[in-house]
Structures are given as C-alpha cells and as structure tokens.
Structure 1
Amino acid sequence: MRILKSLASAAAAALLSFAPALAETPVVRAALQLSGTVNWEADTIRHYRFDEANGFSLEVSDVAGAPAAQIALVAGQVDMIVSDWLWVARERAAGRDLVFIPYSRAVGGLMVPANGAAKALGDLKGQKIGVAGSPIDKSWLILRAYAQKVEGFDLAGSTEQVFAAPPLVYKAALDGEVQAALNFWNFGARMQAAGMRPLLTIDQATKALGLDPETPLVGYVVRGELLKTHPGLGEAIAAASRAAKEKLASDPAGFERIRSMMKAANDVEFEALKAGFLAGTPKTGAVDEQAAARMLALMTELGGADLVGDLKELPDGVFLHPGS
C-alpha cells in the first residue's frame, strides 16, 4: 500500500512540476484563408504537431481574404496572418509593431496558350491580358518594370488589362477570353497542367531587373508584442514552417493526406501543384535587406502611394532575424 501511495505522490509531483510549462505554452492565433495554399502547410504543421515540437500551439481560423486578415491583425483579434513584407514595411512605418517571417517565395508568371505565337512580352502589344488582383499587384508591377527597363515599352499602355480574382483569370485564360494571364503561382501551375506555357516568369523578370529572386515576398506576419513576450517564438514558427515543407518534400504520404484540399483535377495537376509549392521554399538564414530595399524602390516607383503610402525606405525590424 505504501508503494502505491509513493507512486501516486510521485505522479502528482510530476504533474505539478509540468503544469507551469503547459500553462506558459504560447498560443498563436492565426487567421488564414483555409481555401488557400497556406492551409496545406498549416494543416501539415498541426497534423504532425510541428507546432508542439517547437514549443507553441497553432490555432487557425478562416478568413475571407487579405484585407479582413490585415484588419483583424492590426486590431489585435489574431496574432498571425499571411501577407507580403511590403505591407509590413508600410505598417511599421506607421508605428505598428509587426514582424515578417518568410513563408514562400513562390510567384507566378505570365501564361500564354501553348500553341500561341507570342515569344516575348512585346508580342502581346494590342492584346488582352488577365491579371489576378489589382493594378498594384506586385507581380504586375514587376512585369511592367521589366517591359519598360528591359524591352523598352509601356506594357500597361500597350495592352488591355482585365483585373479579376484568380479563379476568374484562370477561366478566362482557358476559355481564350484573354491572350495571356498573370495569375498566382498555384493557378499558373493549373494552367500549365491544362496545356498553357509560361511566356515570362516573375523570377526571370526579377533577375533581369537586377533584383534578387530569393527575396521572399510572402510570409507569416506576427504581432511584435507576442514575440517580445515569448522570446524565441518567431524562430519556433519558422522552424515549424520548415519542418512542414521538409515533411511534404520527403514523404509522399504528406501530400497524399492533403490532396483533397489541393483540389487537383487530375494527377498531372496534382504533381504541378506539389512542385510549385516546394519550389517556393525560402532559403534559410536572414533576408537580404539590401535586396529588399531595391525591390521596395522599384515598387515605390511604379505603385506609388496606393501601394506603399508615404514609405520612402525600408524601416528597421521588418524581417525576423534568427537570434534577434
């Protein structure tokens, strides 16, 4: 009987000693578009418990789109969203403590029919281009800069643009309603699987402009207050993100498990989506802030105040740096 009591006392003591650690485990409330590609990673993190392995708990709620997510983050209703670092820079310049953790460098490209005559961007003069997003979409601005600085013409003035949501641009391209389409990388992968081809990728345009294609545009944006309260949390989120990508890259079962949420129409599209997602994996280490500053200057030149507000230079603290 004494042995049982001793064992019970030891178990109780162990539970009590462990309780404070559980109570202090930070919860990261993320507002993400569950219909988007980011959920492939978030779901992988939670399923394989890469959040727990790195000392935090990830809670995910659905959000209708980027503007709603940004409003929720600024209001403190959530701790983390996915957005681009240009928005983070603009918010930091306005005094809001937000930090960018690279998530993906996957960008799309300008797709044209496989049997089309276009061989270069200039061949699209006088034609109609579908563009996912708005006139200040970052990929569209990079294409405009490429046309102007490399091929010497005004892409916006020489073509007709149709700005719409990604699915609509995708459908218009396949139906032949536009002669070229600039879409998000995942819709680009679907279009290529359906028989279209890239005329010019954003990576190619970025390199031609002297920018660094390794600069990640999209990332997890976290409230700085949370990172200060829990030192090391930013690195933990980055580690969980890397672990999820490594799992998907190394274990075919990882992608098979989330195949239904990828909504691939067939095996060819499934493989294209897998390849596109993994190709966007950011390099490890600190973001090159000089390269980011060069990209910011280009975005400011073409996007103006509608894109960057009064931002003139890259503020301090935009990017998470390991050990900071």
Structure 2
Amino acid sequence: MLAGGVFASDKPVLRAAVLKIGTVNWELDTIKRYGFDTEFGFELSVQPFADNGATRVALAGGEADVAVADWIWAARQRAAGKDYVFIPYSRAVGGLVVPEDSPAQTLADLKGQKIGIAGGPVDKSWLILQAYAQKEYGFDLAGETEQVFGAPPLIFKTALQGETAGAINFWHFLAKMKASGMRELISVETAATSLGLDAEIPLLGYVLKESYLQANPSIAKSFYQASRKAKNLLATDDAAWDILRPRMNAKTDAQFEILRRDFRSGIPAPGNVNEDSAATFFVLMRRLGGEKLVGKVSELPAGLFVELE
C-alpha cells in the first residue's frame, strides 16, 4: 500500500495536499468520482490538511506531490532554489463588495471609511485595487481609508454586520456575501483590465516538483487533462453540482447558486499560461507588494509554467 491508502498499481500515484475545506476539493472530488484520473492513467490520492501552510510543508517535505498555490508564490520558491512548477487551476480572484444600500459607486466613495481585507496587506486583490483607484481617480485607497485585516470568516462576519463599509475576501466568501445581499462595487478582473493586465491569467494553480514530473513523465499532461475534463463537466452539468452540494457549506439556495456561478466564471481558458502576460503582471505585483510579496525575485524564473498543449 502506498501513502494515502492507495494500493500500488501500474499507474503513478499523485498525492494532492489540499485544505480540508478548500474549494479545490470540488474539482478533485469530481475527478475521483467520475474516474477521470484512471481514465488518463494515474491515481489521484487526496490528502486533507487543516491549513494552507501545512499543504505547502507537505509538498516541500515529499509527503505530497502537488498543492494549490498562486504562481507568484511558486515563482518566489523556484527563485529560491526549489524545483517548483505550475499548472493552471483557476482565475477566480474576487473583488470588493459593499452593502446593497451603500451610497458608494466607486472606490473613491470609500474615503475615510473602513475596508475589511482577508489575506493581509500584500493580498493581490488589494494591491490591484489600490493601483486601479490611483489610476482611475487619483485616489490613495490605502492612505485614505482604514484597513481591517483578518481571516476570511471574520471579514465575512464584520461586513455582514455593517462594521465595515466594504470588504475584500476570498472568492467563495464573496459569493456568500453577495448571496446575503451585498453587491460588488468593483471586480478585480475589471481593475486588472483597466491596468493593462491580462485578466484571463489563471493566478491559482497546482504546484508540483520538476523531480516528480521527471520520474513520472506523463503525469503533468494527464493530470491537466483530468482537471480540464472535470472543469468542463462542472461548467455544463448542474447535476454534478448537486452531488457536490453537501461539501460546499452552502446554507441557502442563493449561496449554492452563486458559488456555482462564480466557480464557473473562474474557470480559465484551456492552454498554456501566457508568459508575457504573466511577466507584466509580476512586474506590477513586485512594484506594489515589494519584497514582502515576491522576495528578492526581480523577474519570473524560467521554466515556472508547465507546457501543457
């Protein structure tokens, strides 16, 4: 028997370290449930962890073969000497929401008010919205508002209770916030496009080690094909979502429907990551987030993105 309770076979085993309550489980569950892993010649073993940090430790320590992270983090690790590579998973990055009855129509209307932010001061959505506010309105979003940083559930709760004038949260919390009556003031996609960035770049992805891919030469494309087949099913078949609903923590039909809608809207186009677009995005993130976000990396390290098609 192999790690994760998977019996040895002639198929390579891909051990995925995931956040126990993470939305990536919806895709991985679909891969397993419909046998897309075995269809493409491998065995997927899903290993749940309590937090994202633990999934990354598992990947680094060889207890897992793949974990979910954004490619900016993967680039920082690769530049530091780790042989990490990236396969795209999702471009869902969210936006900023306000109460339905808020008078705010633009980010500049939040002057002097509190904004709740999940992810910390170098959260990528927060950085992009700062740049957008400066470009569009000459407005110093960070300097002219009060920021309240906290875990996603706390930002969710305080926003719904009216303790903040607006909130930036992870996409699935934003979906529930919209289902609870909040409205999107600005999406990160809109802001990114205004800044000349490619909003189609899949920021989140599956991070693996090159050494694992070298030992299993077909695994990258096989896993990608299984992922795309799961995505295609979830994009078109509502019945596939009915199966997933028990693990989605959707307390109302509205939450369930918006979670499904926003997951679908975050599915990236098939194909390789556009490296020129990613490089442009990275330059902006480096300028806005500095070393706290990207470390001492000055440019994207070569070989970060796996060639898939």
> Of 292, 295, 306, which aligns to 1:309?
295
Cα offset, 1:219, TM superposition: 0.4
Q: 2:40·2:226 contact (CA, 8 Å) conserved in 1?
A: yes
Matched, 1:70 2:56: yes
The residue matched to 1:290 in structure 2 has which SS? helix
Q: Is the 8 A contact 1:150 1:209 kept in 2?
A: no
Q: Could you tell me which amino acid in structure 2 is paired with residue 68 of structure 1?
A: A
Partner of 2:4: none
Q: Which residue of structure 2 lines up, in the alignment, with residue 294 of structure 1?
A: 280
TM-score of the two chains, using structure 1 as the length reference: 0.91
- Describe the SS at the equivalent of 2:263: helix
Matches within 5 A, 1:116-265: 116-265=102-251
The residue identity in structure 2 corresponding to 1:219 is G
- Equivalent positions of 1:247-286 (< 5 A) are 247-286=233-272
Of stretches 295-304 and 22-31 in structure 1, the one that deviates more from structure 2 is: 22-31
Task: Give ranges in structure 1 of 5+ residues lacking alignment.
Answer: 1-21
Give unmatched runs, 5+ long, in structure 2.
1-7
The number of equivalent residue pairs is 302
Q: Aligned partners of 2:222, 2:267: CA distance in 1, in Å?
A: 17
**If each structure's helix is expressed as a fraction of its own residues, which one has the higher value?**
1
Query: What is the DSSP-based 3-state SS (H/G/I as helix, E as strand, rest coil) of the residue aligned with 2:143?
Result: helix
State the Cα distance separating 1:64 from its structure 2 match: 1.9
TM-score (structure 2 length as normaliser): 0.95
Offset of residue 315 of structure 1: 0.8
Helix, strand or coil at the partner of 1:112 = strand
Q: How far, CA to CA, are the matches of 1:156 and 1:112 in structure 2?
A: 17
CA distance in 1, matches of 2:269, 2:262: 15
Alpha-carbon contact 2:111-2:145 (below 8 Å) kept: yes
Using the alignment, how far apart are the partners of 2:75 and 2:225 within structure 1? 23
Q: CA deviation at 1:147?
A: 1.5
Aligned alpha-carbon RMSD (Å): 1.1
- Aligned to 1:163, the other structure's residue is in SS state strand
Residue 59 of structure 1, CA deviation: 0.7
Q: Give the percent of matched residue pairs that are identical in Structure 1 and Structure 2.
A: 53
User: Deviation at 1:264?
Assistant: 1.1
Deviation at 1:92, TM superposition (A): 1.1
1:132-171, CA deviations, whole angstroms, 9 ceiling, x for partnerless residues? 1111111111111112222212111111111111111111
Residue type of the partner of 2:190? Q
Which residue type is aligned with residue 51 of structure 1?
D
Give distance in 2, aligned partners of 1:240 and 1:165. 32
Q: What amino acid is aligned across from residue 275 of structure 1 in structure 2?
A: R
- What does residue 36 of structure 1 align with? 22
The answer on whether the counterparts of 1:170 and 1:191 sit within 8 Å (CA) in structure 2 is: yes
| Alpha-carbon distance between aligned partners in 1 of 2:308 and 2:160, rounded to the nearest angstrom | 43
- Describe the SS at the equivalent of 2:53: helix
Alignment match, 2:88: 102
CA deviation map 1:4-41 (0-9, x unaligned) = xxxxxxxxxxxxxxxxxx74311011110121111111
- C-alpha displacement of 1:265: 1.6
Kindly name which structure, 1 or 2, has the bigger radius of gyration based on alpha carbons.
1
Measured after TM superposition, the shift of residue 111 of structure 1 is 0.1
Q: Distance in 2 between matches of 1:287 and 1:91?
A: 18
CA distance in 2, matches of 1:251, 1:209: 35
* Partner Cα separation in structure 2 for residue 170 and residue 280 of structure 1: 20
The AA in structure 2 aligned to 1:40 is W
Matched, 1:92 2:69: no
Deviation, structure 1 residue 232 = 2.2
**TM-superposed deviation, 1:68:** 1.8
Residue 11 of structure 1: aligned partner: none
The Cα offsets for residues 238-266 of structure 1, whole Å up to 9 and x where unpaired, read as 11111111122232221001101111121
| Residue aligned with 1:58, SS | strand
Structure 1 moving runs of 4+ over 3 Å: none
